[in-house]
Amino acid sequence: MKILVAPNSFKESLNSIEVAHHIAKGLRKVSRKFKITELPLADGGTGTSYIMTKALDGEFVSLKVTGPTNSIITATYGIVPKQRVAIVELAEAAGLRLIPKKERNPLITTTKGVGELILDAVNNRYRKVILGIGDSVTIDCGVGALSVLGTRFLDRKDEPIELNCRGLLDLRRIDTSQMPERIRSVKITIASDVKNILTGRYGALVYAKQKGAKRATMPLIHKALKTFKKVVLKQYQIDLDKIPGSGAAGGIGGAFVAVMKSEMISGFGLIKELVYFEDAIKACDLVITGEGRVDKESFYGKTLKRVVDLAYIHKKPVILICGSITRDAKVFKKYRVLSQYCLVRSSMSLNKAMANAPKLLEELATKVGKTLLK
pLDDT digits over 145-165, tens only? Answer: 999 999 999 999 999 999 999
Among 305, 71, 315, 300, smallest CA distance to 206 is for 300
At 66-79, the pLDDT tens digits run 999 999 999 999 99
What's the pLDDT at 12? 78
What's the pLDDT at 328? 65
What's the pLDDT at 2? 97
Q: How far apart are CA 251 and CA 70, in angstroms?
A: 19
pLDDT exceeds cutoff 80 at 177? yes
Query: Sorting pLDDT into bands at 50, 70 and 90, what band is 121?
Result: very high
What's the pLDDT at 233? 98
Q: What is the mean pLDDT of residues 316-334?
A: 77
Query: Sorting pLDDT into bands at 50, 70 and 90, what band is 355?
Result: confident
Beta strand 35-38 pairing with 337-342: unpaired
Q: What is the mean pLDDT of residues 47-70?
A: 96
Query: Sorting pLDDT into bands at 50, 70 and 90, what band is 214?
Result: very high
Query: Sorting pLDDT into bands at 50, 70 and 90, what band is 344?
Result: confident
What's the pLDDT at 17? 93
Q: What is the mean pLDDT of residues 167-192?
A: 97
Among 57, 112, 44, 113, smallest CA distance to 83 is for 57
∠ CA(293), CA(20), CA(321), 5° rounding?
35
pLDDT exceeds cutoff 90 at 120? yes
What's the pLDDT at 287? 97
At 188-199, the pLDDT tens digits run 999 998 889 999
How many whole angstroms from its chain centre is CA 179? 27
Query: Sorting pLDDT into bands at 50, 70 and 90, what band is 232?
Result: very high
Query: Sorting pLDDT into bands at 50, 70 and 90, what band is 347?
Result: low
Q: Which is it for the CA torsion 240, 255, 178, 69, positive or negative?
A: positive
Q: How far apart are CA 360 and CA 164, in angstroms?
A: 38
In this structure, what DSSP letter does residue 88 have? E
Q: How far apart are CA 368 and CA 167, in angstroms?
A: 50
Backbone angles phi, psi at 153, to 5 degrees: -115, 115
pLDDT exceeds cutoff 70 at 331? no
Among 137, 130, 177, smallest CA distance to 153 is for 177
Q: Are the C-beta atoms of 186 and 120 separated by less than 8 Å?
A: no
Structural domains in the chain, sorted by start: 2-41+281-373 (3.40.50.10350), 48-267 (3.90.1510.10)
pLDDT exceeds cutoff 90 at 340? no
At 261-309, the pLDDT tens digits run 999 999 999 999 999 999 999 999 999 999 888 776 666 567 888 999 9
pLDDT exceeds cutoff 80 at 217? yes
What's the pLDDT at 332? 63
Q: What is the mean pLDDT of residues 359-371?
A: 93
Q: Are the C-beta atoms of 81 and 224 separated by less than 8 Å?
A: no
pLDDT exceeds cutoff 90 at 22? yes
What's the pLDDT at 117? 98
Length of the chain: 374
What's the pLDDT at 301? 60
How many whole angstroms from its chain centre is CA 151? 24
